[in-house]
Structure 1
Amino acid sequence: MTPIVFSPVSISTAFAFLSLGAKAQNHKRIIEALSFNTSEISEQEIHEGFDHLLHLLNDVDRELKLSGGNALFISKEHKILQTFLEEAKTRYHSEAFSTDFKNIEEAKRQINSYVEKNTHGKIADLLDSIDQDAIFVLINYIYFKAKWENPFNSLWTKEGDFHVNENTTVKASFMSRTGMYNVAFNDDATVISIPYKGDANALFILPNEGKLSEVENNFNTEKIKTLVDLFIPKFSISGTVNLKETLTKMGLVDIFVNTADLFGISGDADSKISKAIHKAAISVNEKGTEAAAVTALEIIPMMLSPRVQFNRPFILSIYDQKSKSILFSGRIVNPQK
């Protein structure tokens, strides 16, 4: 079992952006892969919706920090159409760059430096290899950082056992807090919603023994607000997803072959996407609330509270209430990795 982290909203935005340059049947397949029905919603409305979404996600006035975007690096041997450049900037605030893929090291430096700059140094060395015969490289990135609405006290963080599996146990630093949370219990899992400042929530899902796969595939339950003793390990996780491999399995294969119909980008009918990479990073700890001038206090009823310990593999989902989007989904298998 491997750790996973990715951003559904960011990946969707990247391929909506790519659809600007796709033509004919491939354009239709990308739109359908995004689960849009053009008989019910126009393409104009789709792009306007993503434009509005990007404004919400990159709102600098929010209490949380969220940086995300995408860019297309194109072989210098292929001309970028001005119409595509204008639409990419206007609709998706995205950029396209001419790149010398024959110079592998320089191309890697160009792409990795772009991502590192736009994630404020949080994501570096995105690419470790590049095909010198590449025509297009689509890059998608996102980084999230926010303060807990009700902070954890670092004085209460203690070392404890995290059970990776029945044969492996590692030490982890567990944050702890007693408070009122939206909680759900059922036969498959325990779910706790922890609010961030800035209209976002972290949904921690702790599957019961042997139920991780089942919960990942299908989980629905009603939450109640109740008092709990909460123990969550501190962790930092980043993950790189090969979108070419994932989308090919989903049936979206045409954009990776020579007949990709991406001539809306460069005017070249034989253009294809050589590599599509997505990387996400999440850090969960007590920090981020230490700079707050005011600490919110809760009124705690005098009652025995259930203890919920995230001391075995669990699922994390971060939901942005403002854009009504899932920012991240992740599987945390080992907080040390």
Structure 2
Amino acid sequence: FLDDPPIQPNVVQLANGMFLQQGLVNNSSFVRMAKELYQAQMAHVNYREEPEEARNIINRWVNETTRGRIEEIIVDTFDRTTQLVLANALYFKATWETFFNEPQYTRPQPFFPDGEQNSSVMVPTMFTAGCFPYHSSPELDARIMGFPYRNRTTSMYVILPNTSDRAKLRQLQTRLDSASLDRLIGQMRQQKAIVQFPRLHVTNSYDLKLALQQLGLRTLFNRSKSNLRALLPAKKAPEPDANLYVSDMLHKIDLEVNEQGTEGGAVTITAMERSLPPVNFRVKGPFLIAIRHDPTKMLLFYGAIFDPS
């Protein structure tokens, strides 16, 4: 008999970087504090004279810190007036506590991005049966199921509107914030279930500059109003007409959800209390996904999946 493959440890790879224009001397105490509190790295690049090389340096940093999962975070060459770029990348990969099926048994199933009354797309769909945290919310007209990872400190939560489509999911998004999500998770109870869930590999890039400006954080990106002098020693602060400000704030994520898991923590459906029928949790329409470090309630990833294909 062949031995089972070794179980891979959970990986949360978070990379924060500050890339300052060459010639601007950074404040060593600020750099030390940023590294200790946020694991942020500071580097100097030459946006003015070598913008393409600056792009390559930042992309190499992202590639190395995410173990090759994120090869490129910056596509376009920088403007030569750029002074400071903040970059953030998150790579998450973990092993399930309860197995999904072996990959060869994953089968294409219809998924309905715009509701079951409209056309479908075929997506690889995984299957499992077990005991999972679950709650049905009449208030939200949605259901939530949790899928713990092997260490049981991190879980993936799937929030699925009843008769889901794009419009219902967007409506649900407006009603959920971090506090209401925590309350929803707090209402979950262990429930035996039969699960069908699409296999996912999500990669996406976000312009946090635009998002933060829409939320009201504008001075950070304003050349005349920004106050980032703490980054620089007092004697090396730039002149007023060259005030230090954030040119871009970039974020990219690589999230993989597949069949891999550990058998040791699984509870099969035959070992459960027989008084309640199993929940049929088939994800065949748009849904929300949240990966949370449960002891601290910190979200590692939160987003809407409208079409997993």
Shorter-chain TM-score bucket reads 0.7 to 0.9
Contact 2:19–2:42 (Cα < 8 Å) also in 1: yes
Cα deviation for residue 294 of structure 1 reads 4.4
Counterpart in the other structure of 1:38: none
Tell me if structure 1 keeps the 8 A contact 2:97–2:264.
no
- 2-side partners of 1:76 and 1:324: how far apart? 39
Contact persistence 2:144–2:159 (CA under 8 A):
yes
Counterpart pick for 1:193 among 137, 146, 149 = 146
- How far apart are 1:156 and its partner, in Å? 3.9
Aligned position for 2:228: 262
5 Å-filtered alignment, 1:216-255, equals 216-219=173-176, 220=180, 221=184, 222-255=187-220
Paired position in structure 2 for 1:32:
none
Do the aligned partners of residues 63 and 110 (structure 1) sit closer, same or farther apart at CA in structure 2, a change above 3 Å counting?
A: same
Q: Which amino acid is the alignment partner of residue 156 of structure 2?
A: A
Q: Which residue of 2 aligns with 1:81?
A: 27
Count of matched residue positions in the alignment of Structure 1 and Structure 2 = 272
How far apart in 1 are the matches of 2:129 and 2:214? 44
Q: CA deviation at 1:142?
A: 1.0
For residue 160 of structure 2, what is the aligned residue in structure 1? Answer: 206
- Alpha-carbon RMSD across the aligned residues, in angstroms, is 1.9
SS at match of 1:150: coil
The code of the aligned residue for 1:177 comes to T
- Measured in 1, the distance between the counterparts of 2:288 and 2:84 equals 34
- Please point out which of 128, 139, 154 is paired with 1:177: 128
Measured after TM superposition, the shift of residue 153 of structure 1 is 1.6
SS at match of 1:211: helix
Could you tell me which residue of structure 1 aligns to residue 3 of structure 2?
A: none
SS of alignment partner, residue 54 of structure 2: helix
Q: 2:131 touches 2:267 (CA, 8 Å); kept in 1?
A: no
1:159-180 CA-partner distances (Å, limit 9, x unpaired):
1101111444111111111211
**Residue pair 1:189, 1:211 contacting (<8 A) in 2 also:** no
What displacement does 1:308 show?
1.4
Task: Mark the runs of 5 or more structure 2 residues left unpaired by the alignment.
Answer: 1-7
Between 1:249-258 and 1:89-98, the stretch displaced more is: 89-98
Match of 1:300 among 263, 267, 272: 272
The 3-state SS of whatever aligns with 2:157 is strand
2:83 paired residue number = 135
Which 10-residue stretch deviates more, 151-160 or 170-179? 151-160
Distance of 1:296 and 1:306 partners within structure 2: 17
Residues 235 and 283 in structure 1, CA contact (< 8 A), matched pair in contact too: yes
* 1:330 and 2:294 aligned: no
Are 2:111 and 1:158 equivalent residues in the alignment? no
User: 4+ residue runs of structure 1 moved beyond 4 angstroms?
Assistant: 292-295
Q: Is the 8 A contact 2:130 2:192 kept in 1?
A: yes
Shift of 1:293: 7.7
TM-score normalised according to structure 2 size? 0.82
Computing the radius of gyration over CA atoms, which structure comes out larger, 1 or 2? 2
Other-structure match for 1:126:
73
Q: Deviations over 1:249-305 (max 9, x none)?
A: 111100101120111113235110000001112111103x3xx58463432344532
CA distances 1:95-129 after superposition (whole Å, capped 9, x unpaired): 11110113122111100000110011111110012
Cα distance in structure 1, aligned partners of 2:267 and 2:169: 34
What is the one-letter code of the residue matched to 1:183? Y
Task: Tell me the distance in 1 between the aligned counterparts of 2:306 and 2:266.
Answer: 32
Paired with 1:279 and 1:224, the residues of 2 have a C-alpha distance of 34
The CA distance in 2 between the partners of 1:304 and 1:251, in whole Å, is 49
Letter in 2 for 1:87: M
| Structure 1 residues without counterparts, runs of 5 or longer | 1-61
Q: Check 1:174–1:255 CA distance in 2 against 1; reply closer, same or farther (3 A cut).
A: same
